[in-house]
Amino acid sequence: MSEASLQGKLKYDVEYKAPVDKIHEFWSRGISDLPKISPNIIQNIQLVEVSWGNEGCIHNGLRAEIYKLQSHWRHILDYYRSFKFILDQVTPKGNGGSLASWTLEYEKLSENVPDPISLRDESVNLNKAVSAYLSQA
């Protein structure tokens, strides 16, 4: 099987009960709050290197050069060579809410590894927790 067939993308949307500016601010500066927002998904984030607010900077909790993450997602690296979450766009919706469009890019270690549907689902759950947090802030 070719290396290209081991790579994939999952696209998904998450509705937020918060305006676009709050979502942008959280994902560009507030990611260190994730353990208190959703401790069942993310237990600890230790900032290693970060450049808050710089356009194009990647805030990906599982890339060691930016964050060290302790969570139940650690086992994922036994099946995937790499993966990253990309916040593609946030669109305003009525009643002060927003729609966040995400892409999960990944590379499997072998052809026998399934697509990371459970990882996408955990990301959706995490985003819902962030939405609830931002709607109270």
Region of poorest pLDDT, from 6-15, 61-70, 72-81: 61-70
Nearest partner of 59 among 92, 13, 23, 91, judged by Cα: 23
CATH number for domain 3-136, candidates 3.30.530.20, 3.40.50.720, 3.40.190.10, 2.60.40.10 = 3.30.530.20
Give Cα 117 to chain centroid, integer Å: 13
C-alpha distance from residue 89 to each of 13, 63, 97, 98, 129 (Å): 10, 21, 14, 10, 19
pTM to 2 decimal places: 0.78
pLDDT given at position 63 = 38
What are the residue boundaries of the structural domains of the chain, listed by start?
3-136
Give the separation between CA 25 and CA 19, rounded to whole angstroms: 10
Region of poorest pLDDT, from 59-63, 75-79, 110-114, 118-122: 59-63
Helices (H), 20-116: 20-29, 34-37
Give the separation between CA 135 and CA 137, rounded to whole angstroms: 6
